[in-house]
Amino acid sequence: MAISSGIVWEVVLVLLFAFKFVKVLAHLISFFLYQPFPIPRRPTVEASDVTVIIPTVGDFDGDFEDCLLSIIINRPAKIIVATVGIEKHRLASLVCENLSPIIEVWALLEPNKRRQIYAGIRQTATKITVLADDHVLWSPSFLATALAPFENPRVGGVATLKRVIRDYPYEFTWSNFCNFIACTYLERQNFEWTATSNIDGGFGVISGLTALYRTDILRSPDFVEEYLNETCAMGFVGPMNDDDDHCITRYLVNKGWNIYLKNSEDATILTTLGDPEKLFKQLNQWSRSTWRSNSTSLFSDFTVWQSQPWCVYAIYLSSFVNFALFYDALLFYSLYRVMDDPSPFIEHSELTKSQALGSLAAVLFDSKIIKPYPHFWRNFGDLRYIVFYIMFGYYHSFIKLWAFLTVLDISGDSTVEVD
């Protein structure tokens, strides 16, 4: 007996719907059940056990000073600014010498983020190393809060929440919209990675904006070898300069270390993102990094299949099919075909075709608002962008597609660039 097309499309619809919304429901529950690691009364790891490394080739302006001051307030043992060239070493030294004696400035001859970080690691003698970008701001109690998970001796790396500083006043301009997109981009990551970390301990990456690691791990010979000589495409592309945060995260997971995401207000870093001239380049670079790293985790390292089974589904495999424009279009088309030729299971449904499609649209809309909801709660004025936010999500499908087609291009994928 021939199978009707309605049944075929019903199966397609159910599979597409389940693959998407099982994750949505599970993450919603997990996010609200998350409890951050408690801060001990008598910690064994303190701010005095921390060295902060800041790789940079940027302008040593007011934002750079603000970054350093926010870190100094946390009282780390040392801050190492790793820059490039004699002139930038001189400029950085002029700024840093007036701020605090705990700051050291080192310089390489050529810009290479990984080697700049490694140069700092070689000068680190503390138990914990923190890697930070030169445009982040910490709260005064950031280290006291973010160090807490290291009370667990199996935790090798800690990530924290990231939040983009919102431009005020609210103006309906392209520049303001790009800043808004950057805000929601990181907010979505915060939601998803908090949820997955609460399920199986995994999440996408310990972001290089601010990342905390045990120094012994970063100084081990096998890590240094992998970190400085990583390649992709079976060794035909590399050595890599960018993707350093992905490399470290994968190394920790592969070596059996736990990674932890600390979700609390005191452990939230602030950063500046959303410059219209840089945003789309950054989105493309981040997408390329995700393609490369997720492919490596699934099909080369393999460890995540056993240690992070939920993340395999919810992050790694989902990233390969999460093209919102095409996925949602297929959902609508599948439902349209099902309603056009209903199977015996739903032929007695009282829903009309337009009602069914409208219900699906409402469910999809709600699902797209869940992750950035905390941002809209803090910034009611951004509700004016809600329609454009969803449209941009569909446009991002083309960014992901272009990133896939250019995934082996590593020439411009460095967050440390000479101006």
pLDDT of residue 168: 80
Are the C-beta atoms of residues 99 and 23 closer than 8 Å to each other? no
252-262 burial code (b ≥16 CB/10 A, e <16): bbeeebbbbbb
User: How crowded is residue 352: how many other Cβ atoms within 10 Å of its Cβ?
Assistant: 10
pLDDT of residue 418: 33
**Distance separating alpha carbons of residues 324 and 317, to the nearest angstrom:** 14
State the Rg of the chain over Cα: 23
Report pLDDT digits (tens) over 148-164. Answer: 999 999 999 999 999 99
Name the phi and psi angles at 46, rounded to 5: -125, 175
**Distance separating alpha carbons of residues 191 and 352, to the nearest angstrom:** 35
Handedness of CA 108, 110, 213, 239 (dihedral sign): negative
The answer, as to whether pTM is greater than 0.85, is: yes
Residue 252 bridge partners (DSSP) = none
pLDDT of residue 61: 83
Helix-helix angle 386-405:174-200, to 10 degrees:
70
pLDDT of residue 274: 82
Are the C-beta atoms of residues 206 and 196 closer than 8 Å to each other? no
Residue 155 tokens, joined: 């935790």
Residues of the chain with pLDDT under 70: 1-6, 342-350, 411-419
What's the per-residue H, E or C state across the chain? CCCCHHHHHHHHHHHHHHHHHHHHHHHHHHHHHCCCCCCCCCCCCCHHHEEEEEECCCCCCHHHHHHHHHHHCCCCCEEEEEEECHHHHHHHHHHHCCCCCCEEEEEECCCCHHHHHHHHHHCCCCCEEEEECCCEECCCCHHHHHCHHHHCCCEEEEEEEEEECCCCCCCCCHHHHHHHHHHHHHHHHHHHHHHHHHHHCCCCCCCCCEEEEEHHHHHCHHHHHHHHHCCECCCCECCCCCCHHHHHHHHHHHCCCEEEEECCHHHEEEECCCCCCCHHHHHHHHHHHHHHHHHHHHHHHCHHHHHCHHHHHHHHHHHHHCCHHHHHHHHHHHHHHHHHCCCCCCCCCCCCHHHHHHHHHHHHHHHHHHCCHHHHHHCHHHHHHHHHHHHHHHHHHHHHHHHHHCCCCCCCCCCCCCC
Q: Which residues contact 234 (CB under 8 A, 6 or more apart)?
A: none
**Distance separating alpha carbons of residues 262 and 37, to the nearest angstrom:** 7
Phi-psi region of 256 (alpha: psi -120 to 50; beta: other; left: phi over 0): left
Residue identified by tokens 């890590």 is 223
Name the phi and psi angles at 32, rounded to 5: -80, -15
Q: Which residues contact 248 (CB under 8 A, 6 or more apart)?
A: 157, 206, 211, 213, 218, 227
Longest dimension (CA), the chain: 84
